Structure 1
Amino acid sequence: MKLEQAAKQLEALGNPTRLKLYRLLVRTGEAGRPVGSLQETLGIAASTLSHHLHRLVLTGLVTQERQATTLICRANYPVINGLIGFLADECCADAVCASTEAEGVA
């Protein structure tokens, strides 16, 4: 994953309403949730929800599927797993260097 892509996804999740919305979709699972249900649960105006969903869709964090007249939203698990992996890939990579330096000082 590229740094720019990760930054855009993290920026999208940096808004409290979008983060709440995204967590709601993650909890829902693969079945997803209709937009109307999301709006009712979050208690926000349709235009506000549309704006926040649009940002999440643009970054790839959310997918949408039309089923007749209903728009179903889903968390895009491969994308969030990629972002989590990007964040954790180098976990403790410099720990050896830090411990080696500490041994040399002591």
Structure 2
Amino acid sequence: MDEPDAITALAALAQSTRLRAFRALVQAGPEGLTPTGLAEQLEASATTLSFHLKELHRAGLISQERDGRHLIYRADFARMNSLLGYLTEHCCEGQPCELTSPGTCTTC
């Protein structure tokens, strides 16, 4: 991942509904969610959710697949991990770093 891609992905996540939608899709795993299921879970209107899903899709953070009459949205785990890798690429001044618990680095 390069800097412009990271900025696009982070900008897409820098909005409450989009962040909540992305987290819900991450939690749903490979099965993904339909827009209806996601709207119910987030208590968001279909119109609002459609706009936010479009932004997440444009940023490459989610995929969309048609399954008969339904759309299925899934988190793009490879893209998510690429973003995390970009953000932590130079962690701990290049030394191996293993987090033992959230926010705790064994070499920092």
Offset of residue 42 of structure 1 = 1.0
Sequence identity (%)? 40
Structure 2 counterpart SS, 1:29 = helix
Structure number with greater Rg is 1
Say if 2:62 is the partner of 1:62.
yes
Structure 2 counterpart SS, 1:44 = coil
Partner of 1:16: 16
| Equivalent residue letter for 1:83 | L
Offset of residue 41 of structure 1 = 1.0
Spell out, residue by residue over 1:20-59, the C-alpha distance to the aligned partner (whole angstroms, 9 max, x if none).
1100000000011111100111111111000000000001
Whole-Å separation in 2 of the counterparts to 1:44 and 1:26: 18
Structure 1 counterpart SS, 2:92 = coil
Q: Alignment RMSD, CA only?
A: 1.3
Q: Which structure has the higher relative contact order (CA within 8 Å, separation 6+)? A: 1
Out of 72-81 and 37-46, give the one that drifted further: 37-46
How many residues are treated as equivalent by the alignment?
95
Out of 85-94 and 15-24, give the one that drifted further: 85-94
TM-score by length of 2: 0.84
Instruction: Return 5+ residue gaps in structure 1 as ranges.
Output: 96-106
**Structure 1 consecutive aligned stretches of length 4 or more whose deviation exceeds 6 Å:** none
Offset of residue 94 of structure 1 = 7.5
